């Protein structure tokens, strides 16, 4: 075989790569270094290995600061100005600590469990549109890694994988408290997944698509979905279910430290515990993104046709608009995350039977009723045609009709569930019954 001179082969390689035969690879699934591939690699390198772990680190810092203020303390202030280097110090500590595996533990599953949870938390971020990309006709494409036609379903599916990881973590540790925490966690996650999914149904109904980018486009057309009585109720339900899904305080029974040490991650130390920590805050971030996209219009501004009217084909407009919309998006996510910190710092923890009763007796009936109310809103405001843009009087009529219905539904469901709670005394058996119900 002839030796190719060292000075020429990079040139040949460059020619090979840049030739159109490479760029126009016929099969869409595995294009080698096509434009799309470069975009994916950029997302992976910058987003998933760079930005998102950084966001998580500083979310921990923000939570500690916020919680400290709520408790009249100062919070981390030793490492760096305002304690800003504290996350880095924590990360170094976690990496250098010894990772202890219990002797009785199932070694492989013990390692697999935190990885599974982390993968599930990362995968949810793959479909989230962080801003508005370019404009195709009248439709905006999202600034997102992948725009799946069934993105919402994908997001729910991969986030439901985390309950499996939690279960395995509890099982593999061979520890009573771990297993108790894991059982609690799985029962809670499965129960609250039902109202979480049901609360997104009105959005799908109003959009006529499961694509998150289509949902954002629809909210630029009509207003944010928050601004309607059923939309507001769905937002409240989704927020409660989100907090329960990421195991934060009022719903942190799986890791209640005063009852079962640390729940399913009792036997984890070092970086393996760090993976749990990372996954928890990553899923806080991703459910905040979900709430923002579904109800708060992503990166759009309320009452304006903003990104659509500003965006042109020119590159400066693209960069300007995307910087702005991504900034708006992250501001909204920050507000949502702050809401979760606020709830965490304010509310006490629920009891197990209260937790289950709240999911099955209050949230599920309310979210099912809310779907019906959302259908009424769809009929009165949006009409049958998905292209119809509602006028101001349409919305006033919608508010007048659905507002009282929502109020009555909330009052009736709360009253009925309270009656049911007082008429039957809570007992361990009823808690177990609801947990068993949840597991099916």
Which residues inside 151-170 make contact with another protein, applying CB under 8 A? 153-154, 156-158, 160-161, 163-164, 167-168
The residue within the footprint of another protein, chosen from 3, 4, 24, 428 (CB under 8 A), is 428
Question: Is 69 one of the binding residues for another protein (CB under 8 A)?
Answer: no
* C-alpha distances in Å from residue 206, one per residue of 201, 245, 258, 293, 380: 9, 25, 44, 14, 12
Give CA–CA dist 114/123, Å, rounded. 14
DSSP conformation letters of 235-301: HHHHHHHHHHHTT-TTS-GGG-HHHHTTGGGTT--HHHHHHHHHHHHHHHHHHHHHHHHHHS-TTPP
Stretch of 178-186, 265-273, 286-294, 376-384 lying at the interface with another protein (CB under 8 A)? 178-186
Which CB, 64 or 272, lies closer to another protein?
64
The token pair at 331 is 């501001």
The token pair at 234 is 């769905």
The residue within the footprint of another protein, chosen from 62, 79, 190, 301 (CB under 8 A), is 190
Which letter does DSSP use for residue 436 in this model? H
Q: How far is the CB of 433 from another protein (least distance, A)?
A: 6
Question: Is 119 one of the binding residues for another protein (CB under 8 A)?
Answer: no
Question: Is 351 one of the binding residues for another protein (CB under 8 A)?
Answer: yes
Q: How far is the CB of 165 from another protein (least distance, A)?
A: 10
Give CA–CA dist 12/127, Å, rounded. 37
Tell me which residues in 252-271 interact with another protein (CB under 8 A).
257-260
Give CA–CA dist 299/295, Å, rounded. 11
* C-alpha distances in Å from residue 242, one per residue of 6, 37, 84, 247, 337: 57, 33, 28, 9, 11
Q: How far is the CB of 356 from another protein (least distance, A)?
A: 9
Tell me which residues in 9-38 interact with another protein (CB under 8 A).
26-27, 29-30, 32
Q: How far is the CB of 41 from another protein (least distance, A)?
A: 18
Q: How far is the CB of 106 from another protein (least distance, A)?
A: 8
Binding mask 206-245 for another protein (x = CB under 8 A): --xxxx----------------------------------
Which CB, 109 or 368, lies closer to another protein?
109
DSSP conformation letters of 317-375: HHHHHHHHHHHHHHHHHHHHHHHHHHHHHHPPPPPHHHHHHIIIIIIHHHHHHHHHHHH
Q: How far is the CB of 393 from another protein (least distance, A)?
A: 30
Stretch of 2-10, 325-333, 381-389, 419-427 lying at the interface with another protein (CB under 8 A)? 419-427
The sign of the torsion formed by the CA atoms of 97, 101, 107, 112 equals negative
To the nearest 10°, the Cα dihedral for 241, 244, 248, 250?
90
Question: Is 352 one of the binding residues for another protein (CB under 8 A)?
Answer: yes
Give CA–CA dist 260/308, Å, rounded. 52
Question: Is 361 one of the binding residues for another protein (CB under 8 A)?
Answer: no
Question: Is 347 one of the binding residues for another protein (CB under 8 A)?
Answer: yes
Question: Is 422 one of the binding residues for another protein (CB under 8 A)?
Answer: yes
The residue within the footprint of another protein, chosen from 18, 391, 419, 439 (CB under 8 A), is 439
Q: How far is the CB of 152 from another protein (least distance, A)?
A: 9
Q: How far is the CB of 340 from another protein (least distance, A)?
A: 13
Q: How far is the CB of 411 from another protein (least distance, A)?
A: 22
Q: How much of the chain is in helix, strand and coil states, percent to nearest 5? A: 70, 0, 25
Stretch of 42-50, 262-270, 300-308, 344-352 lying at the interface with another protein (CB under 8 A)? 344-352
Query: What is the H or E stretch that residue 233 is in?
Result: helix 229-245
Give CA–CA dist 173/151, Å, rounded. 34
Q: How far is the CB of 12 from another protein (least distance, A)?
A: 22
Which CB, 183 or 328, lies closer to another protein?
183
* C-alpha distances in Å from residue 55, one per residue of 33, 112, 119, 127, 297: 29, 24, 17, 17, 21
How many of the chain's residues bind another protein (CB under 8 A)? Answer: 72
């Amino acid at each position: 075989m002839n030796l190719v001179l060292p000075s020429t082969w990079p040139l040949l390689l460059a020619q090979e790569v840049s030739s159109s035969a490479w760029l126009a690879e016929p099969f869409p699934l595995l294009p080698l270094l096509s434009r799309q591939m470069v975009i994916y690699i950029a997302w992976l390198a910058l987003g998933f290995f760079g930005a998102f772990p950084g966001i998580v680190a500083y979310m921990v810092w923000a939570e500690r600061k916020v919680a400290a203020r709520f408790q009249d303390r100062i919070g981390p202030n030793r490492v760096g100005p305002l304690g800003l280097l504290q996350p880095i110090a924590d990360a170094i500590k976690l990496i250098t600590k010894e990772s202890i595996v219990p002797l009785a533990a199932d070694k492989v599953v013990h390692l697999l469990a935190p990885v599974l949870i982390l993968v599930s938390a990362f995968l949810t971020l793959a479909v989230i549109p962080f801003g508005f990309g370019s404009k195709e006709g009248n439709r905006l494409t999202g600034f997102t890694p992948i725009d799946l036609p069934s993105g919402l379903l994908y997001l729910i599916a991969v986030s439901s994988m985390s309950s499996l990881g939690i279960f395995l973590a509890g099982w593999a540790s061979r520890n009573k408290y771990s297993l108790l925490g894991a059982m609690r966690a799985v029962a809670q996650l499965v129960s609250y997944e039902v109202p979480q999914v049901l609360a997104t149904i009105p959005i799908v109904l109003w959009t006529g698509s499961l694509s998150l980018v289509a949902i954002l486009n629809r909210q630029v057309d009509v207003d944010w979905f928050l601004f309607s009585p059923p939309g507001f109720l769905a937002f409240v339900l989704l927020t409660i279910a989100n907090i329960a899904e990421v195991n934060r305080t009022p719903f942190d029974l799986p890791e209640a430290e005063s009852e079962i040490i640390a729940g399913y991650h009792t036997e984890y130390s070092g970086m393996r515990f760090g993976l749990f920590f990372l996954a928890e805050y990553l899923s806080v971030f991703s459910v905040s993104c979900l709430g923002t996209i579904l109800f708060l219009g992503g990166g759009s501004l309320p009452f304006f046709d903003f990104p659509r009217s500003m965006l042109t084909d020119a590159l400066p407009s693209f960069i300007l608009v995307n910087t702005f919309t991504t900034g708006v998006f992250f501001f909204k996510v920050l507000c949502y995350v702050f809401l979760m910190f606020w709830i965490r710092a304010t509310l006490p923890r629920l009891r197990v039977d209260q937790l289950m009763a709240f999911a099955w007796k209050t949230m599920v009936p309310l979210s099912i009723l809310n779907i019906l109310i959302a259908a009424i809103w769809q009929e009165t405001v949006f009409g049958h045609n998905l292209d119809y843009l509602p006028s101001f009087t349409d919305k006033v009529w919608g508010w007048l009709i659905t507002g009282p219905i929502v109020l009555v539904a909330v009052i009736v469901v709360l009253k009925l569930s309270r009656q049911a709670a007082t008429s039957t005394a809570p007992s361990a058996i009823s808690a177990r019954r609801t947990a068993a119900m949840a597991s099916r």
